[in-house]
Amino acid sequence: DQQVKQNSPSLSVQEGRISILNCDYTNSMFDYFLWYKKYPAEGPTFLISISSIKDKNEDGRFTVFLNKSAKHLSLHIVPSQPGDSAVYFCAALNFGNEKLTFGTGTRLTIIP
Partner 1 sequence: DAGITQSPRYKITETGRQVTLMCHQTWSHSYMFWYRQDLGHGLRLIYYSAAADITDKGEVPDGYVVSRSKTENFPLTLESATRSQTSVYFCASSELQGLNNEQFFGPGTRLTVL
Amino acid symbol at 63: T
Rule CB under 8 A: is residue 65 a binding residue for partner 1?
A: no
Binding mask 70-89 for partner 1 (x = CB under 8 A): -------------------x
| C-beta closer to partner 1: residue 70 or 99 | 99
DSSP assignment letter at 82:
G
How far apart CA 23 and CA 102 sit, in angstroms, is 10
Q: Long-range contacts for 64-68 (Cβ within 8 Å, ≥24 apart)?
A: 64/33, 64/35, 66/33
Rule CB under 8 A: is residue 21 a binding residue for partner 1?
A: no
Q: What is the binding site for partner 1 (CB under 8 A)?
A: 6, 32, 34, 36, 41-46, 49, 51, 89, 91, 93, 95-96, 98-105
